[in-house]
Amino acid sequence: MPRRIGEIAVGLLLVFLASCCQAGIPPEIVQKAKQATALVQVDDGDGIAEGSAFCIDGIGLFLTNTHVVEPLEVGGKLTLILRSGEKDQKIITAHVVSLDKDADLAILKADVPLKLTPLTLSVTRDLIETTPVVAFGYPFGSDLALKPGDYPSITVSTGHITALHKIKGDLRSIQIDASLNHGNSGSPLLNDNSEVIAVVQEGFPGSAISSAILVKDLKTLLTQAQILFTPPSQPLEHLRDPQEFHIQLLTPPTDASAVTVDLLLSADANDHRTFRATSKDGRIFTVNTLLLPVRTLLAPLQLTIRARQLEIVGKVVDRTILVAGEEVPLSKVRRITNGPRTTVLLSDARVLTGVIKGLRSVSVDLNGEQTNLNLSQVDSIDVTPPPLPASIDFHIAAKQGGKLLGDLQGKIDLQNHKGALVRNSPPRGAGNFSPPVEYKGPVVSNPQNGHGYAIISMAAAPSWTEANDAAQALRYLGRRGHLVTITSAAENDFIVGNFGKLLGGRFWLGGYKDTRDPNYNDPASGWRWVTGEPWRYTNWQPNEPNGSRGGAPHSDFLHMVANGQWNDEQNAAQGDSAKGFLVEFDP
């Protein structure tokens, strides 16, 4: 038989034999560990690498091996599958928060809130050969799934400690006789008290010998990852609204009441804002403030006014107008088109139609001179918001009694600050959109995955980021929307079968290129889905994607044409760009 199949067969046989020889493990231990263990998937550039990880903190921290998440560094994105193969299976994105390459250990942080019971870590030194142990994980990764494209159920492997590996009397690792294979790396190894005593490092296919790293080696890693911080994810049109910053202390001191955490924000050399964070538990600290300084937010908007053959460019202070009874800040408007059917295109890609009030007398700065203009009768108005700084510097300092406990500095990229799933870099997870919009149009349910799909057609072409922001703002029966992600030929065929007749133009999908991918210059490399799902399937048009080779630099975004094939496109609202987008509502 082929070598690969042989390895799997031998591995499964050894798992079966070891399980038969092992005394029964208490059911409560099995259930707790199964709930806390996740399948890890990492796009390493050559495909999807897989391993295991387990929850060590209810806020969403997971432990695994460094070699499982290679070649990622701190901040790198990956996918976790919880309750793999079960009805309540959940696919989430996570990122690396700390690495200890010498110890071969890594800490991951889920990008969405979780309610998991973490496994208890034990640093006991009372280990002897023959101690019974049990490992939970995913040997051979997705190869054990019943159907291609599905995820496997967790495997429980039992065995004993067979050797204590020491250097000059110092216990460094343990050897076990449980049959473990690649994919088990990062699995928790539990004793009969349901405590994690070690982390599986590697197994040797075809043998009953595996090695595991002691939990005591985790102490240094926890100290290194003291502050966790993910900048708030808001669409650009909401940067004028206060945002909530969450700062987490991974290893809070015993006396948490004496801890202070300050957040410093700086948009330029003249901006130095410091905010004291508050906390109820001494672990999670919050600050509610504006991301940008007020003077930046009050900068005037640029209006390009077209009336007959004339075009006038002026500046105006932000104001509120009334569109079909809805109050709308002018800063959230991108285009007003007057006529028999007056329309207003908003920055979140929504289109409002109806009578506009508040434009009859507007004070416009024309080359330094204030002039009142009646803008209700012009042909069209384009609204351009003031330019934003490229990034905001942040500095977080945690102190206790004046002594620095932790320090974290970095930048918040405003040019890509489009929301949690809208970045030309790895997505961050769930964001905050205000207000959510309940979708009342037709939704088609896909019996293969239980997801709902809808098509949004627009008179004016939106950019990809505008479409993505709009898709994430939509809700349907409590489900949150996102641009469609296609992970199989069956799903692509379903979309074409249901929407093909409506796809008269090009429609945006939820695919984008990661500019940080080492092979970014290759048009076919670095593609990601906004949900963090693995990029397993493509349906490119002939000679696509061609990126800048086709004369369109930065063609980093994905759209579908009428026949269901894909093409890469620039992130721009152009006449030949997508005329709408496809939305997917997950269960």
Residue ranges of domains in the chain, CATH in brackets:
3-221 (2.40.10.120), 226-295+389-413 (2.60.40.1930), 300-384 (no CATH), 437-585 (3.10.100.10)
- Report yes or no: 55 and 203 within 8 Å, Cβ to Cβ: no
Work out the angle at residue 241's Cα, subtended by the Cα atoms of residues 238 and 247, and round it to the nearest 5 degrees: 100
- Report yes or no: 123 and 220 within 8 Å, Cβ to Cβ: no
Q: Which helix (H) or strand (E) holds 29?
A: helix 27-36
215, 24, 245: which is closest to 105 by C-alpha? 215
Cα separation, 14 vs 179, in Å, equals 6
Distant-in-sequence contacts of 304-308, Cβ < 8 A, 24+ apart: 304/381, 304/382, 304/384, 305/364, 305/373, 305/375, 305/378, 305/380, 305/381, 306/378, 306/379, 306/380, 306/381, 306/382, 307/377, 307/378, 307/379, 308/379
CA distances to 197, 366, 392, 521, 532 from 77, in Å: 27, 48, 22, 20, 8
Cα separation, 138 vs 187, in Å, equals 8
Around 577, how many Cα atoms within 13 Å sit in the side-chain half-sphere? 25
In tens digits, what is the pLDDT along the chain, a chain of 587 residues? 444 444 444 444 344 334 433 445 678 888 889 999 999 999 877 788 999 999 988 878 899 999 999 989 887 889 999 999 898 899 998 988 888 888 899 999 888 878 888 998 887 667 889 889 999 999 988 888 888 878 999 999 989 999 998 888 888 889 998 878 888 999 999 988 888 999 998 866 666 788 899 887 776 666 554 677 877 765 565 676 788 888 888 765 555 567 889 999 998 888 899 999 998 877 789 999 888 887 777 789 999 999 888 899 999 998 899 988 889 989 889 899 988 788 898 877 788 888 899 999 999 999 889 999 999 889 999 998 887 787 888 999 888 877 887 788 888 877 544 333 222 332 332 232 334 577 777 888 988 888 999 888 765 667 788 788 788 888 888 788 899 999 899 999 888 888 766 655 678 899 998 877 777 788 888 899 988 888 888 999 888 888 754 555 678 888 888 778 898 888 766 545 556 788 999 87
Dihedral, 567, 571, 574, 579 alpha carbons, nearest 10: 60
Cα separation, 419 vs 343, in Å, equals 26
pLDDT for residue 529: 92
Tell me the longest C-alpha to C-alpha distance in the chain: 90
pLDDT for residue 577: 52
- Report yes or no: 472 and 480 within 8 Å, Cβ to Cβ: yes
SS3 205: coil
Place of tokens 């009953």: 208
CA distances to 149, 267, 296, 387, 393 from 270, in Å: 53, 8, 12, 17, 12
pTM: 0.48
Phi, psi dihedrals of residue 370, rounded to the nearest 5°: -80, 130
Cis peptide before 435 (omega within 30 of 0): yes
DSSP string, 489-523: HHHHHHHHHHHGGG-SS-EEEEEEE-TT-TTTTST
